[in-house]
Every structure is written in C-alpha cells, then in structure tokens.
Structure 1
Amino acid sequence: MTPETVIDIVREALWMIVLLSGVIIGPGLVIGLVVSTFQAATQINEQTLSFLPRLMVTLIVIIAAGPWMLTKLLDHAEGLITSIPYLIG
C-alpha cells in the first residue's frame, strides 16, 4: 500500500465525517441562530428556550436523515472492505 492510497482513504473518511456530522449540526446551528436572534430582540434569557428547539430539530433530523446517513456509511465501509485485496496486493 502506497502513501497515496493511505492519504486517499483518510481523505474519504474525513469527508464522510464532515458530511454526516454537517447534516446533523447544520439545522441545529440555524435554529440556534434564529432563537438567539429572537432572544436578543425580546430580551428573554431563558436557557430552555435556546436548548429545547435545537434538541427537537436535531432529533427530527436524525430520524429523517438517519436511513440516508446509514446507507452512506455502509456503502463507504463496503467499499473499504471490498478493496482490501487490491490494497494489500
């Protein structure tokens, strides 16, 4: 196995991490920004007001995008496992 193939495998793995975590973190970030803007405009500083919407959106995104995320992860793992003979030899 050459250093270039190792770099390619690590690059693909890191991209998979960024993609799958971005799907979960992105909507929570947007909702957090909206709630923070609302809190700044109304001067309501309630901790649960900022936490609960982000939690709910994150759970909804995990439920909705979970099958797609699992498919992407399994396809990546299957590609790695099937390429083992080519990488070693």
Structure 2
Amino acid sequence: MMTQKQTTLAIFAVPALLLATAFLGNLFVEGWNWSGSDFIVAGILLFGTAGLISLVRTVVKNRNYKILISLLIVAILILVWMELAVGIFGTPFAGS
C-alpha cells in the first residue's frame, strides 16, 4: 500500500512525465511545433488537474465520491485540451 506522500508524488509525476515527453517530441518529431506558451498552458492544465485531484483526495472522505469527482476533473481536462487543440466547440480560443 502506498503512503499519502508516495501517492501525491505519483499524482504530480504524471504531468511532469507528460510534459517531458512533449518536450522530447518537440525536439525530435517533425511537425510537432509547440511554442513556449504551449508548454506553459499545458503545464497549467496538467498540474492544475493534479492539484485538484490531490485536493479532492484530502478533502472528500467517501471513496466513491473521490473517484467520481476525479473522473469528472479528468473529463473536463480532456474537453478543454481538445478545444484548445482542434476547436470542437468553436469557442474564440480554439486552436484551429
């Protein structure tokens, strides 16, 4: 069983690994053209999501509610990411 500290470290390691992967992809993959602002926005989204999930884990006591709220947070992240990338909803800040 993981301790609270190990779980929190794992929650924040996932966004760090995703950003590192994106950075390496930006260096070595042709057609992957992220600017510095893209990395900043991605970092805010990913670490903000990790922070919210960590907060939910400490505040919410019911295990089922923790899972449900965490899945809802991840779903919102995915929808915002898709909107920024390709503009599925057609908002003014859409990516394409």
Do the two structures share a fold, i.e. TM-score over 0.5? Answer: no
- Greater helix content: 1
The alignment's TM-score, normalised by the length of structure 1, stands at 0.45
> Which of the pair has the greater relative contact order for Cα pairs under 8 Å at 6+ separation?
1
* TM-score of the pair, normalised by structure 2: 0.42
